[in-house]
Amino acid sequence: MHHSECADDIAYAVHDLEDVVARRLVTRLDLEKRLSDLFPQPQVGPSDKGISRASFVNSLFDEGSDGRKKFIGRLVNLFVTEATIQFQEQFEHPLLRMRVGFDSLLTKFLERLKNVTRDLVVSQAAVPQLERRGQRVIKSLYCELSSRPESLIPTDAWESLDPGDTKERRVCDYIAGMTDPYAEKIYHRLFTPGIGTSRDEL
């Protein structure tokens, strides 16, 4: 696979799994039920840095947030250090000819891990609900800010945006630069009665 596809697969499989566990969208029992699919063998990867079936759930659930992050780091390290450049002889151009890959066992493990993570995320009603809320926040901010951007967007922020762009593009860029908490704060200031005052710091 292309190096960016490989990075995306690792991020999706590993970090989304961490997020699901951290937000308690999956139970220990749910994950334990999927271990036989994930681990056809007791361990994946070389003996010195491999991931064992026994440690997988324990590390995610029993070691607290710090332990979980260290384990996620071990997972990422396993994929990154075991990745190799594989040549596809049917292509001449280097961008097509050279691909990033793993041995067959690690390839299967990553694919299974992606599937488990996807199933855990997609099956949770809370996730599409949060996505829907996020879409509503962004759409509402865009419609409101676009109506009077020069008065609703702080002057220094508005002037820092590319003046050669359209008003709509500049509003999009401003919203894209917001963190989630900042976007929600502005949303509530604009639309929630009784929230915020003119003296609040942005």
Half-sphere exposure of residue 8: CA atoms within 13 angstroms, side-chain side: 5
Q: Are 76 and 14 in contact (CB under 8 A)?
A: yes
Tokens 């694919």 belong to residue? 111
Question: pLDDT class for 65, splitting at 50, 70, 90?
Answer: confident
Question: pLDDT class for 202, splitting at 50, 70, 90?
Answer: very low
- Which of 80-94, 134-148, 174-188 has the least mean pLDDT? 80-94
Q: Please check the confidence at residue 110 and state whether its pLDDT lies above 60.
A: yes
Three-state DSSP state, 119: helix
Q: Please check the confidence at residue 96 and state whether its pLDDT lies above 80.
A: no
Residue partners of 133: CB distance under 8 A and separation at least 6: none
Average pLDDT over all residues of the chain: 82
Break the chain into its structural domains and give their ranges.
Answer: 3-124, 127-191
Q: Is 4 exposed, middle or buried (0-12, 13-18, 19+ CB in 10 A)?
A: exposed
Q: What is the pLDDT of residue 201?
A: 47
Question: What does the pLDDT average to over 67-94?
Answer: 81
DSSP sequence for 2-24: -HHHHHHHHIIIIIHHHHHHHTT
- Which of 17-21, 44-48, 101-105, 161-165 has the least mean pLDDT? 101-105
On whether the pTM is more than 0.75, the answer is: no
Q: Are 167 and 146 in contact (CB under 8 A)?
A: yes
pLDDT over 70 for what percent of the chain? 83
Q: What is the pLDDT of residue 27?
A: 86
Three-state DSSP state, 171: helix
Q: What is the pLDDT of residue 123?
A: 65
Question: pLDDT class for 146, splitting at 50, 70, 90?
Answer: very high
Q: What is the pLDDT of residue 195?
A: 63
Strand 84-87 relative to strand 98-101: parallel, antiparallel, unpaired?
antiparallel
Spatial separation of the C-alpha atoms in residues 141 and 135, rounded to whole Å: 10
Question: What does the pLDDT average to over 100-129?
Answer: 77
Question: What does the pLDDT average to over 141-154?
Answer: 94
